Amino acid sequence: MNPDAGSPATPPAPRTASHPALSLPSLLRYWLPVVLWLMLIFSMSTGLGSTRQTSRIIGPILRWFNPSIPDETIRNIQLVIRKTAHVTEYAVLAALLLRALRRTPPGSRAPWNPRLAQLALVLTAFVAFSDEWHQSYVPGREGAVRDVLFDTTGGIIGLAAFRWIVRRRVSE
Q: Is residue 42 part of a domain?
A: yes
143-155 core/surface letters (b: 16 or more CB in 10 A; e: else)? beeebbebbbbbb
Q: Is residue 8 part of a domain?
A: no
- Residue 157 or 55, more confident: 157
- Burial grade of 70 (CB within 10 A; 0-12, 13-18, 19 or more): exposed
9 pLDDT tier (thresholds 50, 70, 90): low
- Residue 65 or 27, more confident: 65
pLDDT, position 13: 47
pLDDT, position 155: 97
Overall average pLDDT of the 11-34 stretch: 69
- Residue 169 or 95, more confident: 95
152 and 124 Cβ atoms separated by less than 8 Å: yes
Q: Name the residue type at position 18.
A: S
138 pLDDT tier (thresholds 50, 70, 90): confident
Supply the Cα-derived Rg of the chain in whole angstroms: 23
Overall average pLDDT of the 87-105 stretch: 91
What does the DSSP 8-state code read for residue 109? -
Overall average pLDDT of the 58-74 stretch: 90
Sequence length of the chain is: 172
Overall average pLDDT of the 106-119 stretch: 79
- Residue 4 or 169, more confident: 169
Q: Which domain holds residue 81?
A: 26-171
Q: Is residue 138 part of a domain?
A: yes
Q: Is residue 104 part of a domain?
A: yes
Number of domains comprising the chain: 1
What distances in angstroms separate CA 9 from CA 5, 6, 16, 95, 125, one per listed residue?
9, 9, 21, 44, 48
Q: Is residue 121 part of a domain?
A: yes
117 pLDDT tier (thresholds 50, 70, 90): very high
Q: Is residue 167 part of a domain?
A: yes
Q: Give the C-alpha separation, 1 to 149, whole Å.
A: 68
Q: Is residue 21 part of a domain?
A: no
pLDDT, position 16: 45
Q: Is residue 141 part of a domain?
A: yes
Overall average pLDDT of the 13-30 stretch: 65
Torsion of CA 64, 65, 67, 73, to 10 degrees: -110
